Structure 1
Amino acid sequence: MNVLIVYYSLYGHIAAMAQAVAEGVNQVPGMVATLRRVPETLPEDVIEKMGAKQAQKAQSHVPVCTLEELESAEAIIFGTPTRFGNMCGQMRQFLDSTGQIWNRGGLVGKPGGVFCSTATQHGGQETTLMSSIQTLLHHGMVVVGLPYAFAGQMRVDEITGGSPYGATTIASGDGSRMPSENELDAARFQGKHIATITQKLRS
């Protein structure tokens, strides 16, 4: 069964989390993770000025997601950086193109979840997750978060992301901080958790 991981990553933080989510999905027998990017909307010269060209090149092997893939997947997990406490514009534009899928109920009953990144500890992780979850609910998806069974989200001995609404990472204001091992473990846990629930629902 296919679990689709659809993400946008400018500097590579969400790409690293997406890979960890995929590793978690693949731990469940019979479940296969498929990584897909959403279309880029920034001009190439702007990406270069933002210093993101190398990170974008590193993700070029990941195909861009099609709308047909959303409907054929057994479950979908979305990953997005935070932009002013909400999902990024690239993800919003992609999801805004799913009106016909919504009209025919193409995602109704599919398990789904969200993971994200922010620049700072309190940069809108939970608002991004919750506002993204609203779109999943409008599509009739079965929302799955990151339960406290993953105890790593309660750690106070280090700076770390993590929320019951989904796995998160903190990138730092200059993007220099990549996901910690604890944050990657959270992403793996969420991927495995969603894959397990998907398997149970489909059995």
Structure 2
Amino acid sequence: MTKIAVIYYSLYNHCKTLAETALASTKADGVDAEIYQVPETLSDEILAKMHAPPKADYPIITPDKLTEFDGYIFVIPTRYGRAVSQFSSFFDATGGLWATQALSKKFATIITSTGTQHGGQETTALTTLPFFAHHGIIFVPLGYATPDMLNMDQILAGGPWGAGTLAGADGSRQPSELELRIVGVHAKHFVDVVSKFVKGA
């Protein structure tokens, strides 16, 4: 059975919603899927000052856990056009896996969230690719897997690099129904690609 990990970081629950949507979509395809959070790097004091809500009760991923899965759906918030520091810290902790190439021939895809339409969703995906390349992880983009990608009737996040949402500059905007639908398609597309490889192997 194909094993997929949905791995996210979320400060104000936007990426949590995206991750849960992706998880539901992978499970609908009958794969073994689990959801994890990357470790928090901010102190409780700082989180309180930022008015961050409590974290969801999902397990915290550790680098060694990555070896148990065939593919990863990374749900990554953007900070200045790249992955937030919590994700960067987690990636930096995988040096031992890199040394043994333990993640080679695994698969990954990226779903993002930004505060604004031009906040760097594509650059977040692009600047995450070096991590994949060093580990030998195969990147699976969304492409234009659904006609919803061409929707011009409403504000829409994401693109061929991957699905996403726009949180608004103040974090008040929640993922739209259209964005969540594309997240579902993205997850199904990723599962299909990874499952074909697993079955062929």
Matches within 5 A, 1:57-96: 57=55, 59=56, 61-96=57-92
CA distance in 1, matches of 2:145, 2:110: 17
Count of matched residue pairs:
198
Post-superposition shift, 1:171? 0.1
CA distance in 2, matches of 1:137, 1:27: 30
Matches within 5 A, 1:1-203: 1-29=2-30, 31-52=31-52, 54=53, 56-57=54-55, 59=56, 61-203=57-199
Post-superposition shift, 1:133? 2.3
Alpha-carbon displacement from aligned partner over 1:37-60 (angstroms, at most 9, x marks no partner): 0110111111111111x2x33x1x
Name the aligned partner's letter for residue 13 of structure 1. H
Q: Scaled by the length of structure 1, what TM-score is found?
A: 0.94
Post-superposition shift, 1:149? 2.0
Tell me the percent identity: 36
CA distance in 2, matches of 1:7, 1:162: 16
Post-superposition shift, 1:92? 0.1
Question: Unaligned regions of 5+ residues in structure 1, if any?
Answer: none
Q: Counterpart of 1:42 in 2: which secondary structure? A: coil
Post-superposition shift, 1:66? 1.5
CA distance in 2, matches of 1:150, 1:134: 27
**Is the contact made by 2:145 and 2:186 (CA closer than 8 Å) also made in structure 1?**
no
**Is the contact made by 2:67 and 2:102 (CA closer than 8 Å) also made in structure 1?**
yes
**Is the contact made by 1:171 and 1:177 (CA closer than 8 Å) also made in structure 2?**
yes
Q: Counterpart of 1:94 in 2: which secondary structure? A: helix
Alpha-carbon displacement from aligned partner over 1:115-148 (angstroms, at most 9, x marks no partner): 1100000111110111112211221111111121
Poorly superposed stretches of 4+, deviation over 2 Å: none
RMSD: 1.0
